[in-house]
Structure formats: C-alpha cells, structure tokens
Amino acid sequence: MSVTVPVGFKASGATAGIKPSGKPDLCLIVRDTPDEHGCAFAALFTANFVVGAPVIVGRRQREQALKGGPAPRAVLVNAGNSNAATGQQGVINAEQCMAAVAGLLGCRGAEVLMSSTGVIGRPLPVEKLLAAVSGLVRGLGRGEAADAAAAAGIMTTDLVPKTALRQVLIDGRLVSIGAIAKGSGMIAPRLDSAAGPHAPGAGHASGTMLAFITTDAAISTPDLQTALEQAARPCFEAISVDNHPSCSDTVVCLSSGRAPWQTPPAKHADQPMPLLRPGTPAFAAFSAALAAVCEDLSEQIVVDGEGATRIFRVEVRGAATAAACTQIAREVVNSPLVKCAIHGQDPNWGRIVTAAGNAGVRFDPEQTSLHIGPVCVYQAGVPVTAALSDPALKAHMAGKKVHCVLTVGPADTVGAMTGCDLSKQYVVINAEYTT
C-alpha cells in the first residue's frame, strides 16, 4: 500500500515494450481531485550538469508552479529509456507523451510531469509509449493492486519494488504519505533545489533514483517544496551504491489537501484541512513523517543496490563541521577497496582510515579512532591488535549491516553515509549486459 492510500490519488502500471525483457515499464500516478485549496506540487532533480529531457521540462514545470502557474497533478514514468543526452528532440518527445496523457485526463500537458529511466542516449520510443497510454489511463485505480502495478512499472535493475507509507494525526486529520521508488545502479543522488541547482561535489553521482510521493496534506506549493527539500536531501544524498549520480534522479511529491477527519467533529465537519504553515507543530509533524518516508525509501534503495549483499553505514564524528564529517564518510563508502573488504567480511580497517585521509578534510591520525560494530579496532592512532581476533568483530562483519564509527577529532559534529558492498555480481550486471 503506497501512493493511492492518501485521499485523492489513483495509479496504474503497464507494459509498453520499451524494455527488451518485456517487463512492465510504465507507471502513472494521478491526483483526481479538483484544483482547489491545499493541492500542491514539489520536485527535486539531479544536480548532475548533464540531465535527461524530462528533468529539463520538469524544472520548467516546477518554476511555473512556484510562480502560481499550473502545477503537475499527474506523473508519467517510463523505464527502459532515460531520454537523456538526446538533444532537443528528447524534449519534444517528452512533451508529446505528456500531451497524450493530458488529453486523456482532461488537463493540460504542463500538468503532467514525466520521468524516464533506463539506457542513456537512445531516442525515446514515443510510438510504443503513445500506444500504451490509453490502457494506462484506463487502468487507473486505488488499492493494493494499483500501487503494486505503479511500483513495478518504474523498476530497472531493482530486484524488489520499493514502497513506503506513513500516517500521522494532525489536528484531528489522518494525513497519509505514500511513496514508490526505484534504484538500483547509478545511485549516489545529489539533488538540486528550486532556488537553483547546487553544485555537486566532485566525484559523486550514479544510476537513477526515482521517488514519487503522494499525500493528502493541505499545503501550498512553496511550503511543500521547502518541506520536500528538507526531508529528501539528507536521506537520499546519504546513500551511494556506486558514486555516479544519474542524469535523471528525481523526487516528486503531489498533495491533494483532502486528508480526512479521523473522527468528524460535530460542527464544521465539511471544512477543508487548514494549510500547513512552516514553524507550526503541525508542519513539523508532517515534515517528520515525510522524512521518515524518504529515510525508508533510501534504505530500501541501498539495500537493493546492484549486486549488494550487505550495506554499511559510516558515521564520522569530530571534524570541524557536519559537512566535513559527511565528506569523509562519503569517501569511505565509495572506496572500491573498502566495498570489497565489506563484501569479503574482512575487517580491513586500514582501508577505511586511509580512504578517510583522501577526503580533502585534514585530521590528525593520532586523534583518530575507529569502531566496527561494537569493537574498537584503532584507538588514538594505534591499532588495537587484539581486536582482529575478537569474535564480536567477526560476527558483526558477517551480518547484513556493517556499522563503522570513525572519530577524527574532539568536535561535537557528526555526518554519515550508507553504502553497499561491491560484489562480482555488480560487475556482471554492468559489464555483461548493456543497460
């Protein structure tokens, strides 16, 4: 249960034949309530300087929506072709698909947002898409089957569909937030902001991460954009499968404003939900639930990283700033040598410490300590030799989640990243088949 749990949303999935495998490759999510009080739209796109055509179009839609123009009420997604590095024709192709869906839904093309994921640099097979959209619109529904069809339609190398749901009681209303997402290669999202793309750090970007979130909270478009940026960035930017941010990473949130009363009051039961306002406890409750959805999805994505058999979280403490801590953590989770060691259940902590030394953040090894799980392996610059034969270390390395805490100084700061191991299967997926 996911995107059709919030009041006002329908979804569907279909197979257009874009993927050579013949698996589902289309998804449609639609708000079917009128454009009135509390409807909103928000989006974040990749900070890669090379972007897919849908990102070019989507950024324009976001800009219009923030200026009070038409906000997307539907999201059309295809897998199997990213429509990226396809030039001006890519934009024309995307707009043609958006217009076709809009025609069937009775709205304008600008009210349909499109996302595409899959092989880069091949023309979007527009005819296959156009032939499939009427079935897609006819198939729109609510409930478990609709949610599952939508989640399946966006998968690429994902082994499992990814969904999340949180519900929170706000001023007597049951606000739902439902979501679907996909990974699982080219995953190291760095997201932009409506206020202007922020430059990605050098060396960070991979695979396509897509997340589509629906909610029935009542909120304005600018406030939803703020809430989404605050909730989504810290979660999605804290994972990396292969340190190659995609040209198509996208997080979208649609709201209907129709959250129902949990128990309708005696009076004014037909009053719409008041708009959530920043700075209020209601806004904070909504933001926390939205962050929980993003956290849930981001963990599912990294767990299902291409070829992954386990994940590892690197928590860095004590650098001058939290950002510096995160920068060190990012370097560690992206080191191929660390990733291979994690894969081999090898507590090769020297690779972790030396990867940290490459992050461009100066620290003093003599003030540095490292825990792997419950075991301290390196204390104030000196190896804890006995640790390597500690059965607790061996047991921790054999688990599905390896957890490292690297302390590089005395400051009260922390930053963390979660990555996955590097297996032979990753190479098989990315070398032996064209994706």
Catalytic sites, residue numbers: 208
CB of 109 to its own copies, least distance (A): 23
Radius of gyration of the chain (CA): 22
* 205 vs 155: CA distance, rounded Å: 19
CB of 80 to its own copies, least distance (A): 13
Query: What part of residues 253-312 is at the interface with its own copies (CB under 8 A)?
Result: none
- Residue 282 half-sphere exposure toward CB, CA atoms < 13 A: 15
Element (H, E) at 63: helix 53-66
Query: What part of residues 197-236 is at the interface with its own copies (CB under 8 A)?
Result: 199-207
By CB under 8 A, is residue 427 in contact with its own copies? yes
By CB under 8 A, is residue 122 in contact with its own copies? yes
Nearest of 405, 331, 402 to residue 368 by alpha carbon = 405
The 73-112 contact track toward its own copies, x by CB under 8 A, reads ---------x-xxxxxx-----------------------
By CB under 8 A, is residue 431 in contact with its own copies? yes
Smaller CB separation from its own copies, 255 or 423:
423
- Decide: 147 and 163 in contact? Cβ < 8 Å: yes
By CB under 8 A, is residue 167 in contact with its own copies? no
Smaller CB separation from its own copies, 41 or 426:
426
Strands 112-119 and 74-81: parallel
Give the binding range for its own copies (CB under 8 A) out of 29-37, 127-135, 158-166, 419-427. 419-427
Query: What part of residues 371-390 is at the interface with its own copies (CB under 8 A)?
Result: 377-378, 380-383, 385
Count residues binding its own copies (CB under 8 A). Answer: 86
Smaller CB separation from its own copies, 34 or 87:
87
Secondary structure of residue 97 in the 3-state scheme: helix
Query: What part of residues 24-63 is at the interface with its own copies (CB under 8 A)?
Result: 48-51
* 54 vs 418: CA distance, rounded Å: 28
**Cα–Cα–Cα angle for 133, 139, 145, nearest 5°?**
130
- Residue 163 half-sphere exposure toward CB, CA atoms < 13 A: 18
Element (H, E) at 233: helix 221-236
* 85 vs 427: CA distance, rounded Å: 24
Smaller CB separation from its own copies, 267 or 424:
424
Smaller CB separation from its own copies, 203 or 278:
203
CB of 212 to its own copies, least distance (A): 21
Q: Which of 2, 184, 243, 298 binds its own copies (CB under 8 A)?
A: 243
Q: Which residues pair with 240 in a beta bridge?
A: 419
Secondary structure of residue 419 in the 3-state scheme: strand
Query: What part of residues 306-365 is at the interface with its own copies (CB under 8 A)?
Result: 327, 330-331, 334-338, 340-341, 343-344, 346, 348-351, 353-363, 365
By CB under 8 A, is residue 20 in contact with its own copies? no
* 121 vs 249: CA distance, rounded Å: 16
Q: Which of 19, 31, 190, 313 binds its own copies (CB under 8 A)?
A: 190
CB of 259 to its own copies, least distance (A): 39
Backbone dihedral region of 85: left (phi > 0), alpha (psi from -120 to 50 degrees) or beta? left
- For residue 395 the two structure tokens come to 């047991």
Q: Which of 99, 119, 376, 405 binds its own copies (CB under 8 A)?
A: 119
